[in-house]
Amino acid sequence: MVCPAAWVAWAACPAACPRCRDRKSLLRRETDLTQEIRIGPPKLTRFERARIIGARALQVSLGAPILVELPSSVIDPIDIALNELREDVLPMTLRRILPDRTHQDIALSNLLKTRDT
């Protein structure tokens, strides 16, 4: 077997590798601490906002269901994505990564809550 974390031969299941086991415990701790924003600013940056709106607009243009009630005059996917972001109905998670490859997954709703307060 090959360990996906180290790309070395491993005799047992890849999940039994010491590096993978440590990685899984780190992932469990990450999911426990998602309420506290430790990496980056406590709000949504303009770059993250642009990325989210662009990704959601692409999804809408490809036929994804719209998650908010809209007036009949709104038909542009970007406007729809903006409305969904404003209404805080997008079930997305952001991953902020540091240069040492540590990361934190943050729910979009947590970042939008800090903007309102």
pLDDT in tens, 73-90: 999 999 999 999 999 999
Which domains does the chain show, CATH number per domain? 1-32 (no CATH), 40-116 (3.90.940.10)
How high is the pLDDT of residue 54?
A: 96
Name the pTM for this structure: 0.66
**Mean of per-residue pLDDT scores for the chain:** 78
pLDDT in tens, 32-59: 445 678 888 989 999 999 999 999 999 9
3-state secondary structure of 86: helix
- Please, which residues have CB within 8 angstroms of residue 93's CB and are 6 or more apart in sequence? 105, 106, 107, 108
Q: Which residues of 40-71 are buried (b: 16+ CB within 10 A; e: fewer)?
A: beebbeeebbeebbeebbebbeeeeeeeeeee
Tokens of 30: 């990450």
Q: How many residues does the chain have?
A: 117
Distance CA 107, CA 35 (A): 8
Amino acid in the structure at residue 114? T
